Structure 1
Amino acid sequence: MSSELKDLVGSNGSLDSQEESPHVGGGGGSSGKAKDERPLLKPGSAASEAANAATPSERLEELEKKYAPYVRKDAYGTMGRGELPPAEWVLLGIALVTLVPIRLVVGIFLVVLYYLICRLCTLFYAPNREDGKEDYAHMVGWRRVVVVRTGRFLSRIMLFVLGFYWIRESHRSFSFEDEHEQPDESERPEVIVSNHISYVDILYQMSSCFPSFVAKRSVARLPLIGIISKCLGCVYVQRESKSSKGVSGILTERIKEAHQNKLYPMMMLFPEGTTTNGNYLLPFKTGAFLAKAPVLPVILKYPYNRFSPAWDTISGKSSSCDYITVPC
């Protein structure tokens, strides 16, 4: 997206150079040059004034219309570089010396604690290594119970520490007039599809239903997080890999396994393929539907006053800093 934005800004901001390019970009000599028959605009003409009338703010409005799903509307502005009022700076200063240390210490403690729990539950238990995968999605018994229940509990505590004190959930059920249309147990959802707004989405889904996610293969090698992702039953993919199955094939196989074996966790997919500001839905990728398994759609919304949790145009570093700094 950044390259497209830069290209668009460049084309809107260099109209004069583009109009002059036919005069200097022709053949090797003067005879090979293509003559430009377009009339030159006089400095005082109406057309020239109209061409120069596009102010930076107007060009910004055009960008916001074209890239509406990525426009940041909170007090921190585009890319988190907006001008904050003095009162906001005072709040940030207070939070920096009071709230940030608490969130850092408690957050690290929760991650380390859950890592130790996952490490304990996976002792003397061989992971699944089929087709280069390595996960504990097939884990059963007390190990699975401990991993799931502690994971859901600690994820909710982590959300509370980050300022998500109340989470409101609403469920919509559908009535079936014909009793033959009632879904049976075999048609229970095996795939959850959701809009993607922030990496906090993962914490919420863990606290809600503890599904499996799709992750880069490098995530499995991360300290602390690696073993946690394996206990989640994450499907590791490598987009540049030349595997015959491909990403869609791996997902389809995993979804079918979850549909056949109810002990497997559900798959959590973000079919948009990227994060937005939460006000729009992008066209879906088809990977979530190739297995033809029942799908549960979920919509996430983050009401906010000053700071939007959305990871849209803001960088990951700035977003992480704001999460632990902004009071709520």
Structure 2
Amino acid sequence: MPSEPLWAAFQRHDKYGELGIGPLSMGEKIRLVVLAVLVVPIKSLGTLGSLLSFWLFCRLSFVLPASVRTEVVAAAGKVACRCCLWWLGFWRVSWVQVGVQDGHGGSNGSINGSGAVPVVGIVSNHLSWCDILLHMSHSFPCFVARAQTSSQPIIGIISQLMGCLYVDRESSSKVDDGQPRVSDRVRQRMQQMAAGELPHARPLLLFPEGTTTNGRYLLPFKTGAFLAGEPLQPVVIRYGEGGFSPCWEMISAARHIFLLLANPVHTVTCFELPVYHPSEAERKDPKLYAHNVRKLMMDFSGLQGLNATYADKMQLVKRLKQQYGLK
């Protein structure tokens, strides 16, 4: 079993407690009931309406020439995602561009915002499913998605127009099936974008921690985003402290969505760090590249490093479910 310190990255720190089912005062229970009746339906309909409006726009966008369709869809997608965030209660979303710097970001890697080299990837800390909406509202990047996503209702056509990288996670994890691994597909996409072979492709967003945290720690980075050795845009997301934490930790999806909707207002600040250009040593060593970008993000944000893993999280989930008698 992991030690208690390794669980620190996954423990909730809001008034709803572990699994979002902690003891509440009678006043808070009454407040939630009132908001469930008066606020949750309105916010739900507004969010769904924004999503369906964008889906309809995507359906109609095929009348546009392919040469302009990607940019038009991206512009509309940013607006639609901002609307979704507004309906969800994120009335104050701040994107802060951290000042351009000339210097070293580790083993001779440099951080600057010259834009001389195209940014083909974005790496971000991962706290919640809301992170995806935040990034879509700002840069409308593409993602690594399961192959089945392309055929799903509503989000299928949206993911296609975003240019998502579809992978069969089961076959891609096998060594002897003749199929490239997910990490190899990511590296190939980034290299093609950097070479100008995919002029209309959106930047690829990756969460290198591989799971979510409670917003106080940064877990070790997986190397997939760093294999191509191309410049990356680091982003640090920080949700506001309040009665409910939008961080998706130790709580079911249904409970999280309800509490997000039932609490009227949330705040979030996203810090866009200068583009990180890897050194020659970092291009040859993805682990070094990942380590140095993670260190840069921690040094800027004050997030603590913790060598916890997804497996540690699952052990904590199991323990909490046993403690509360849940399946």
TM-score of the superposed pair, with normalisation by structure 2: 0.72
Q: Deviations over 1:92-128 (max 9, x none)?
A: 1121111111112112211111111111113598xxx
CA distance in 1, matches of 2:156, 2:219: 30
Q: Which of 147, 156, 170 does residue 226 from structure 1 map onto?
A: 156
**Contact 2:44–2:87 (CA<8 Å) still a contact in 1?**
no
**Relative contact order higher in (CA < 8 Å, ≥ 6 apart):** 2
Instruction: Quote how far apart the aligned CAs of 1:271 are.
Output: 0.4
Q: Does 1:88 align with 2:28?
A: yes
Contact 1:162/1:323 (8 A) holds in 2: yes
In structure 2, the residue matched to 1:247 is: 182
1:288 to 204, 215, 225: 225
Partner of 2:94: 168
Q: Does the 8 Å CA contact 1:100/1:324 hold for their aligned counterparts? A: yes
Q: What amino acid is the match of 2:187?
A: T
Give 1:120's match in structure 2, choosing from 60, 65, 68. 60
Distance 2:154 2:223 in 1: 32
User: Shift of residue 176 of structure 1?
Assistant: 3.0
Q: Find 1:77's aligned residue among 17, 25, 44.
A: 17
Alpha-carbon distance in 2 for matches of 1:107, 1:99: 12
Matched with 2:255 is 318
2:8 pairs with one of 54, 68, 88: 68
Give the Cα separation in 2 of the matches to 1:150 and 1:156: 10
Which residue of 1 is the match for residue 70 of structure 2? 144
Structure exhibiting the larger radius of gyration computed from Cα positions: 1
- Structure 1 residue runs of 5 or longer lacking an equivalent are 9-61, 126-138
**Offset, 1:148:** 1.0
Write the letter of the residue equivalent to 1:146. V
Deviation at 1:224, TM superposition (A): 0.5
Q: CA deviation at 1:184?
A: 5.4
| Residue range with higher mean Cα deviation, 310-319 or 277-286 | 310-319
Contact conserved, 2:14 with 2:245, CA < 8 A, in 1? yes
Preserved contact between residue 91 and residue 327 of structure 1 (Cα < 8 Å):
no
Per-residue deviation at 1:183?
6.8
Q: Larger deviation: 70-79 or 145-154?
A: 145-154
The offset of 1:239, in angstroms, is 1.9
Q: Which residue of the partner structure matches residue 84 of structure 2?
A: 158
Distance 1:90 1:154, change over 3 A: same
- TM-superposed CA distance for 1:169, in Å, is 2.2
Tell me the equivalent position of 2:238.
301
Partner of 1:217: 147
Normalised by the length of structure 1, the TM-score is 0.72
Q: Mark the runs of 5 or more structure 2 residues left unpaired by the alignment.
A: 104-109, 172-176, 266-327
More strand by share: 2
Distance of aligned partners of 1:99 and 1:176 in 2 relative to their CA distance in 1, 3 Å threshold: same
Does the 8 Å CA contact 1:257/1:264 hold for their aligned counterparts? no
Percent identical: 37
How many residues matched? Answer: 252
> Aligned partners of 2:235, 2:225: CA distance in 1, in Å?
13
In structure 2, relative to structure 1, the CA distance for the partners of 1:173 and 1:86 (3 Å cut) is same
Residue identity opposite 1:312 in structure 2? E
TM-superposition CA deviations, 1:214-243 (whole Å, max 9, x none):
112222222101111111111112221145
